[in-house]
Amino acid sequence: MFILDKSFFKLLLGMAIPLTLQNLINVGVGIMDTLMLGQLGEIPLSAAALSNQLTFMFMVMNWGLAGGAGILISQYWGKQDVVAIHKVIAMMYATSVAFSLIFGMVATLMPNVFLSIFTDDVQVIAEGILYLRILGIGYIFYSITSCTLTMLRSIKNVKIATYVYLVSLFINVFFNWVFIFGNLGAPSLGVQGAAISTVIARITEFCIVIVYIIFFEKELKIGKDTFKVPEKVMRGDFIKTCTPVILNEFMWTLGTIVVTAIISRLGTDVVAANSIANVVNQFLTVFIYGLSGAASVIIGNSIGEGDYDKTKRSAATIALCVGVSGVISGIIAYNIRGFVVQFYNVEEATKQIAMMIIGINSFVIVFQTLANTINVGILRAGGDVKFVLVNDIIFMWIVAIPLGIVAAFVLNLNLIYVFIIVRLDEILKMLVGGYRLLSWKWINNVTR
């Protein structure tokens, strides 16, 4: 049932390690932003954290689009049909740019409306408005970069993204230092400085990717002919595959925002503590999400090749690796929580809340990572997009959110119980996804 061949693990790690580095770099950006803004106190930190919910929603919608397109690209790559891949790419870019314009308008024209969903704190909203109006400018650059790198990953080209994000990290940190704190003669801009730094980093990423595609990419040979309008049948396949994935990511992100809103209403100190805990959680799951990303490509390629036995054995092996990695990550999270919170210039009560949240996350990590890998990395890559849509959101919207609202605002339960309840969906969707995985009904060849 499992694959023990060294060549498989060489392929898996050869993709997972660069993807891990990319995730680590992205988490590193979040850590540096949080640490730097944390030096200014709870208000700027909370403003950035709440403002980033819109950015997070935008990014996840793009991930959904790229994820749906990636299913088609990876399976067509297994089939070696480059012409079909070009058609998928054209539709992916057009949709991505449309997303960036919509979210960009929300960020620049109505940031106060968005922020008021999460908090009544006038200072937090005022700081958040300054942050979002600048940040929205970078959305279109991010959308094109994200789709391009996902496209390259689907054909097993994962290294260029590592270089792109590494350069972006240094750019972001350097300009954070310049604009947040007012170094090298620049004014001290606080949260505005953090937003400016992020936009500069996004533009840099975009420029590197465009240069690579034009001058160095040899497999797909992207050119002006790539962007012709595809025929109706291919458009239908794209919509059929991508729509459930985009809806999945939208509903999941909306649910995450609702959970954040629940937490936000518990106080600014809770928001800051949750921000710290989330950074720790992201940092300790980077390798596992690297495995999940590699899984989607390996599974998609093998289905495109028509080797379904390889698909089954690959899926089982990757799920086992992720389960073991999740347990290790949880143990590490629990044991470093006291050490980590000391790096933040926040009140002692905020540190204690952060330690409590990290403790809960240390248990949930194994379920969270397995749920992601099984549902997003394996089942979705197999074309089982409708099942993943239902499984990924039903427990959030029927269990975690309503029970979380009751626990927080009706029963006024202790914080620890509220946080446990809002994470219940990860456990449930992992169990249901695992059952679906072992049924093998998720293997669907979506190519023509």
CA 214 – CA 222 distance, rounded (Å):
7
Cβ contact 62:143 at 8 Å: yes
Half-sphere exposure of 115 (CA within 13 A, CB side): 27
| pLDDT at site 53 | 83
Query: Is 284 a residue whose pLDDT tops 90?
Result: no
CA 72 – CA 62 distance, rounded (Å):
16
Closest by Cα among 361, 283, 378 to 321: 378
Chain segment 95-106, per-residue pLDDT in tens: 999 999 999 999
Using pLDDT thresholds of 50, 70 and 90, give the confidence band for residue 208.
very high
Chain segment 371-386, per-residue pLDDT in tens: 999 999 999 999 999 9
Share of the chain above pLDDT 70, in %: 100
| pLDDT at site 282 | 81
Burial state string for 403-416 with b = 16 or more CB within 10 A and e = fewer than 16: bbbebbeeeeeebe
Chain segment 131-153, per-residue pLDDT in tens: 999 999 999 999 999 889 988 99
Using pLDDT thresholds of 50, 70 and 90, give the confidence band for residue 446.
confident
* Contacts by residues 165-168 (CB-CB < 8 Å, ≥ 24 positions apart): 165/21, 165/22, 165/25, 165/26, 165/205, 166/21, 166/25, 167/204, 167/205, 167/208, 168/25, 168/29, 168/201, 168/202, 168/204, 168/205
| pLDDT at site 118 | 83
| pLDDT at site 364 | 93
Chain segment 348-365, per-residue pLDDT in tens: 888 898 999 999 999 999
Query: Which 3 state secondary structure label does DSSP give 313?
Result: helix
| pLDDT at site 426 | 94
Tokens of 312: 């089954």
Query: Is 255 a residue whose pLDDT tops 80?
Result: yes
Rg (CA), the chain: 21
| pLDDT at site 136 | 92
| pLDDT at site 247 | 92
| pLDDT at site 244 | 94
Using pLDDT thresholds of 50, 70 and 90, give the confidence band for residue 405.
very high
Using pLDDT thresholds of 50, 70 and 90, give the confidence band for residue 340.
confident
Q: Where are the domains of the chain?
A: 6-439
Query: Is 33 a residue whose pLDDT tops 80?
Result: no
- Indicate the DSSP class of residue 220: S
pLDDT, mean of residues 395-399:
93
pTM of the model: 0.82
CA 95 – CA 441 distance, rounded (Å):
30
pLDDT, mean of residues 239-244:
92
| pLDDT at site 424 | 92
Please, is 308 exposed, middle or buried when counting C-beta atoms within 10 Å of its C-beta (0-12, 13-18, 19+)?
A: middle
Tokens of 380: 């979705």
Start-to-end C-alpha separation, the chain: 29
For residue 238, give every residue at least 6 positions away whose Cβ sits within 8 Å of its Cβ, in sequence order, or none.
68, 69, 72, 87, 88, 91, 92, 230
pLDDT, mean of residues 266-295:
86
| pLDDT at site 327 | 94
| pLDDT at site 434 | 95
Residue with tokens 């456990």: 427
Closest by Cα among 84, 132, 82 to 109: 132
Chain segment 265-279, per-residue pLDDT in tens: 888 888 888 888 888
30-39, 176-185, 246-255, 349-358: which has the minimum mean pLDDT? 30-39
Share of the chain above pLDDT 90, in %: 47
Using pLDDT thresholds of 50, 70 and 90, give the confidence band for residue 74.
very high
pLDDT, mean of residues 168-194:
91
Using pLDDT thresholds of 50, 70 and 90, give the confidence band for residue 193.
very high
Closest by Cα among 1, 64, 44, 443 to 251: 64
